[in-house]
Amino acid sequence: MKRHFTDFDLNRSVGNLLRIGVILSVITSFIGFIKLSLEGFEMPKDYALLEIAEDTIWQSFWSSLMKLEGMAIIQLGILLLILTPLVRIIFALIGYLKEKDYTYVFISLIVLGIMVISFLMGFTH
């Protein structure tokens, strides 16, 4: 017999998702920190040298990550941490759809829209 998806199941699943996201972020950042330490990272004397053109930020990130550079691994950990609440909202939205709780589906869509707009607005500044 098929068991129904309950509020308890949703809360447990969302809680586990948040825990896993934070743990993965911390582990990834820690591995990046160790790698960065082994690479012999030194603080730059002139921070203007760290600037990357806006149109090449993602390309630079992915190419550094493919080379397994420590700084890129740390940035991946931070990106995982930032995306965890976004994935949580999507996960809860799916759970509310399964429960047929359309009030919370609507609220989740509004929150998701606000988060997406704020992420996209962050790239313009």
Cβ neighbour number for residue 61 with a 10 Å cutoff:
17
Question: What's 42's DSSP letter?
Answer: -
What integer pLDDT is reported at residue 40 of this predicted model? Answer: 80
Question: What's 55's DSSP letter?
Answer: G
* pLDDT tens readout for residues 14-42: 888 889 999 999 999 999 999 988 888 77
Q: What are phi and psi of 33, to 5 degrees?
A: -65, -45
Using CA atoms, how far residue 68 sits from 35, 55, 108, in Å, is 9, 22, 36
pLDDT at 78 exceeding the cut of 80: yes
pLDDT at 45 exceeding the cut of 80: no
